[in-house]
Structure 1
Amino acid sequence: MPCYRCGARQTDPVRGASPWQRGVRHETQVLICPDCQRLHDLDLDACATCGSVALICRLGEVECRSCGDVRLARSDALAGSPVSPPPSPPGLSAEVEAALNRVLGRT
């Protein structure tokens, strides 16, 4: 999954914790790259109880990692994500095709 703001793709992680962060935007789980984390206006959902943006969304629930509050995600948010995916970087389909050809031994 690419960064929801800039479309950057994750690379294979080095040992240790990933510098990428998770967040929830319009009740949908998103990833945030290290560069975009420096921005102050990430437009992420916040916990209604404590105001934290440290939320995770899973199985139709949104959970706050700060206070532990859990609530159901809105059903209209689950039906169709209002978050439009960022455009694919140029050449992405060619990269994927080349990788599949290498793995499958195609010429």
Structure 2
Amino acid sequence: MPCFRCGARQTDPVRGASPWRRGVRADHQVLICPGCQAGHGWADELDRCAACDSAALVCRLGEVECRDCGHTREAVRDDLVRAGAQGGAVDRDLSAEVAAALNRVLSRGPAG
């Protein structure tokens, strides 16, 4: 998953804690790269907990949970509706991205 602000991709992790941060934006899990974290305003673009106003949210299994207070709510997911309206364009984009990643990892030429 790329950084939601600049599109940078994570590289293979080194031992220890990751410098990348997680957040939720429009009820979707997002990552923030170290470069964007150094800038200002990125935290203002994230969703906030309705109970405690924290930005420490995670989205999993259709729920958004606050890591600070434990408040949970159902995630509003419209990506499936959009994918259907676009004729599966979202799925095709993901498939092409996965194929390119496998080719890089397996040192194969472009998929044909």
For the aligned pair, the TM-score class normalised by the smaller chain equals 0.7 to 0.9
Partner residue, 1:22? 22
- Runs ≥4 in structure 1, deviation > 4 angstroms? 95-98
What number of residue pairs does the alignment pair up?
A: 93
User: How much does 1:76 deviate?
Assistant: 3.8
Matched, 1:49 2:51: yes
TM-score (norm 1): 0.73
Question: Given that residues 27 and 77 in structure 2 are in contact (C-alpha distance below 8 angstroms), is that contact kept between their aligned partners in structure 1?
Answer: no
C-alpha contact (below 8 Å) 1:28/1:77 kept by paired residues: no
Mind listing any 5+ residue stretches in structure 1 that lack a counterpart? 82-91
Distance in 1 between the 2:31 and 2:24 partners? 8
Deviation at 1:41, TM superposition (A): 1.4
Give the alignment's TM-score, normalised by structure 2: 0.70
Percent identity between matched residues is 60
Answer 1 or 2: higher relative contact order, Cα 8 Å, separation at least 6: 1
What's 2:61 paired with?
A: 59
Structure number with the higher helix fraction is 2
Residue in structure 1 matched with residue 107 of structure 2 by the alignment: 102
RMSD over aligned Cα atoms:
2.8
1:49, distance to aligned residue in structure 2 (A): 0.5
Unaligned runs of 5+ in 2: 84-96
